Amino acid sequence: MMKIVIALGGNALGNTPEEQKELVKVPAKKIAELVKAGHQVIVGHGNGPQVGMIFNGFVSAHEKNPKSPLVPLPEAGGMSQGYIGFHMVNAITNAFHDEGLKNHEVMYILTQTIVDEQDPAFKNPTKPIGPFYQTLEEAQTMNPGSTIKEDAGRGFRKVVASPKPLNFVGINQITKAINAGATVIVGGGGGIPTVTCPKSGHIYGVDGVIDKDFALAKMASLAGADYFVVLTAVDNVMINYNKPNQKALKHTTKAELEQYIKEGQFAPGSMLPKVQAALKFVEEGGKAAFIGDLKDLEAIIDEKTGTKVTLK
């Protein structure tokens, strides 16, 4: 039996509630098959389209009716976790039933990810969030207390930091639930960025977007997972992508990937963070990380496809 953490992309879940309700059945079936094969599975997911839909919806409502409140990004992230979690718990529970796994339980844990308020990312927010505005003044009015930047000639937009994950609120209980045999869904959208007040010791959410692959790599390490699997829309990690000498990586090591990163082989905001998250996991003691296509999940675990990353 292997303890496996799976990272699903938010785009794999569609852009509307109806799309998501249907699309989530695909990973649910794959997860049920892994559990039936004897593996212990922890699932995480992105939430980019979903949190954008929620955040923008409240902005639009406020524009129509000023009495309708603007909702801060941490709260919008919490709402997205609940909305996605509702569909995922139902889909995986139903998939377990169909596979005859009637005693296996699924639980969704709203995740707050602890970050350092001194993280350099907070001094240079770069992640755009929410709608575009024609003027700086309009953007500032609709996003009080936020950093606003002009976005590639398309207008002004709120931007937030992308700090590195350090730990998770309630990590001991999360790991207990995992070790007790539940299929736990955790780390949604990288979790809600949360800092600790140095004076009071109280926690509170802050504006930010945590890379979900980094967050789930950290969760995998803390949970003592054997494997960390990043599911994306490609069969393998590629070097020399879209060039005549393009090559699929089948099995690669820390040293090889670090050299490829120096060469600029992986696109920032796309494959680069997935590769870096895989490296982080094996550096922190994981047996192997894998990157591949959702449709091939079982074959990835069986090392028949996908890219395998190991320390050496």
- Residues of the chain with pLDDT > 90, as a percent, come to 85
pLDDT for res 270:
87
pLDDT of residue 1 exceeding 90, the answer is: no
Structural domain spans, the chain: 3-114+167-310
pLDDT for res 13:
86
Mean pLDDT of 99-121: 96
pLDDT of residue 108 exceeding 90, the answer is: yes
pLDDT for res 129:
86
Mean pLDDT of 238-253: 94
Query: What's the token pair of residue 212?
Result: 């979900």
Instruction: Decide if 169 contacts 202 (C-beta within 8 A).
Output: no
End-to-end CA distance of the chain: 23
Can you name the residues that pair with 4 across neighbouring β-strands?
41, 227
Q: Which fold has domain 3-114+167-310?
A: Carbamate kinase (3.40.1160)
Q: Do β-strands 251-253 and 307-310 pair in parallel, antiparallel, or remain unpaired?
A: parallel
Mean pLDDT of 172-191: 95
pLDDT for res 29:
96
226 burial (CB, 10 Å; 0-12 / 13-18 / 19+) is middle
Which tens digits make up the pLDDT trace of 224-237? 999 999 999 889 99
* Average predicted confidence (pLDDT) for the chain: 94
Rg (CA), the chain: 20
Which amino acid makes up residue 213? Answer: D
Which tens digits make up the pLDDT trace of 205-221? 999 999 999 999 999 99
* Number of neighbours of residue 287 by Cβ within 10 angstroms: 14
Which tens digits make up the pLDDT trace of 113-172? 999 999 999 999 989 888 899 999 999 988 888 999 998 788 999 999 999 999 999 999
- Residues of the chain with pLDDT > 70, as a percent, come to 100
295's CB contacts (< 8 A; 6+ apart) are 26
pLDDT of residue 284 exceeding 90, the answer is: yes
Mean pLDDT of 178-203: 95
Which tens digits make up the pLDDT trace of 73-98? 999 999 999 999 999 999 999 999 99
Which tens digits make up the pLDDT trace of 287-305? 999 999 999 999 999 999 9
pLDDT for res 9:
85
Q: Do β-strands 106-108 and 183-185 pair in parallel, antiparallel, or remain unpaired?
A: parallel
Active site residues: 10-11, 127, 212, 274
